[in-house]
Chain A
Amino acid sequence: MTEYNFETEGVKKTITYLNRKAPYGTIYALEVLESVLISAAFEQHANIVFVDDGVFQIKKDQDTADLDMKCFLPTYGIIEMEKEDADEDEDMDMNWRIIVEKESMEARGLTTDDFKIEVEVLSSAELADVLDTSDAVIGG
């Protein structure tokens, strides 16, 4: 049987959250968003990545009225706020990156101006390095 270690004091991991799906139609986007917010509570390092149709999750001007679903686009603002907070606070050891894959963005005719939050644009090859240096990758 696997032995689990539940001692978490001082443990610091880099977790990459890989958002690959459009915001509505499935629960993936919202679930990943909630996980990201939880990781902030534990001051973990995180890369919040948007690839494939996942880039639509942070596209401005979403209107969910016809879907009869709550629009959670404003909630992504918390990621931006937490990142800025961590960057400014010298006592806080929490490094966050918000990343959009260039190829996915361009294939959908989007630019960084279309996004609700400030992002870093990386090529597919550069993104591969990010995934490679992560302790864990959570796909959604």
Chain B
Amino acid sequence: MAAYSVNGAEIEHDEEGYITDVSQWNRDLAQIIADAEGLDMTDEHWSVVDFLREYYNEYQIAPAVRVLVKAVKKKFGPEKGSNKYLYELFPYGPAKQACKVAGLPKPTGCV
């Protein structure tokens, strides 16, 4: 299985780049995945990633996009609380791309 090299450690990922063990995630790894995805990580990007990880830790699944939109709205204000804004941050789909950076399993939904 392919793996990311992070500070001398090998962290396995599947054929699409999702890491296989959620607990191996760290910020340096997230930056490496983001670079590979061509994402320029801003504070807003990191907030989404942090929210995804917190939600996953608590409920053991990734949130619905609707829930993610609501959380972003709460944090950054109504003008940023939209699906469109999330797509601006993660052009290849907020769920799929942000989950990959956050080290979560690939979501089963379509975004």
Binding site for B on A (CB under 8 A): 37, 40-41, 70-72, 74-75, 77-78
Contacts and interface: CB of A to CB of B under 8 A. Distances in A.
Interface string B34-58: 0000000000000000000000001
Contacts of B66: 40-41
B60 interface: yes
Interface string B60-95: 110010100000000000000000000000000000
Interface of B: 58-61, 64, 66
B15 to A, nearest CB: 21
B59 A77 contact: yes
Contact of B61 (A40, A41, A75): A75
B68 to A, nearest CB: 12
6 contacts: A37-B64, A40-B64, A74-B60, A75-B59, A75-B61, A77-B59
Nearest to B65: A41
A66 B58 CA distance: 22
A74 B60 CA distance: 6
Contacts of A77: 58-59
Contacts of A71: 60
Cβ-closest 10 pairs across A and B: A74-B60, A78-B59, A75-B59, A74-B59, A75-B60, A75-B61, A77-B59, A41-B66, A41-B64, A72-B60
B71 to A, nearest CB: 11
A20 to B, nearest CB: 23
A135 B66 CA distance: 25
A75 B60 CA distance: 6
Nearest to B61: A75
B108 to A, nearest CB: 9
A70 B60 contact: yes
Nearest to B66: A41
B83 to A, nearest CB: 12
A120 B52 CA distance: 30
Contacts of A78: 59, 61
A140 B61 CA distance: 21
Nearest to B56: A74
